[in-house]
């Protein structure tokens, strides 16, 4: 990837919620602030096609099985904001969801339902492991048990992602406890 150099300030364009970005022809993207995965997360909606570039707001899609698992990394993950952002995106009634990780699908309503169920499951399971020394490992293993069988290649990638996600859910619950 090389060394990252800062972009000159005069080239920066602040992005706001609801801002419309003209992308050529008759197409435009509406920016939607969708905190939860991170505080500054945005998704983008192209109304003409009903296409939602959901970023990490709806997690990861495993195309073959249709399984969704939320992207919940610490320290910024916020479960309640994530759920509210998903509900906001669902209200757009997109016809196509475009994920940065693992694909696209036209089964938007099903994805929204599965995402909400997986967030609730993650929280429920995390509450049982909160006080365990190896809580992220235990929670990741429990979440992995809830997934359909992994294909070759996925078995090396998915458990590590789940461990990171487990850490984020646990971190969020600890922040809530502290007030």
Q: Phi then psi for 107, rounded to 5 degrees?
A: -95, 60
What are 26-49's pLDDT values in tens digits? 899 999 999 999 999 999 999 999
The CA-atom distances, in angstroms, between 76 and each of 39, 81, 102 are: 6, 10, 23
- Which of 22-26, 85-89, 143-147, 153-157 is least confident? 153-157
Residue 63 has pLDDT above 90, yes or no: no
150 DSSP assignment: P
pLDDT of residue 1: 63
10 DSSP assignment: G
* Contact predicate 98/129, CB 8 Å: no
Global pTM reads 0.89
């Amino acid at each position: 990837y090389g060394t990252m150099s800062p972009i000159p300030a005069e080239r920066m364009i602040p992005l706001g919620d609801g801002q419309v970005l003209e992308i050529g022809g008759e197409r435009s993207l509406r920016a939607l602030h969708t905190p939860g995965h991170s505080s500054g997360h945005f998704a983008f909606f192209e109304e003409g096609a009903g296409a939602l570039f959901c970023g990490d707001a709806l997690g990861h899609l495993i195309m073959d099985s249709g399984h969704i698992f939320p992207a919940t990394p610490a320290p910024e993950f916020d479960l309640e904001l994530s759920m509210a952002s998903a509900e906001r995106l669902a209200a757009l009634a997109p016809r196509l969801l475009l994920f940065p990780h693992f694909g696209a699908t036209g089964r938007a309503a099903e994805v929204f339902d599965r995402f909400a169920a997986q967030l609730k499951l993650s929280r429920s399971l995390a509450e049982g492991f909160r006080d365990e020394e190896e809580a992220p490992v235990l929670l990741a293993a429990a979440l992995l048990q809830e997934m359909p069988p992994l294909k070759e290649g996925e078995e090396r990638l998915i458990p590590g992602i789940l461990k990171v996600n487990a850490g984020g859910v646990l971190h969020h619950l600890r922040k809530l406890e502290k007030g």
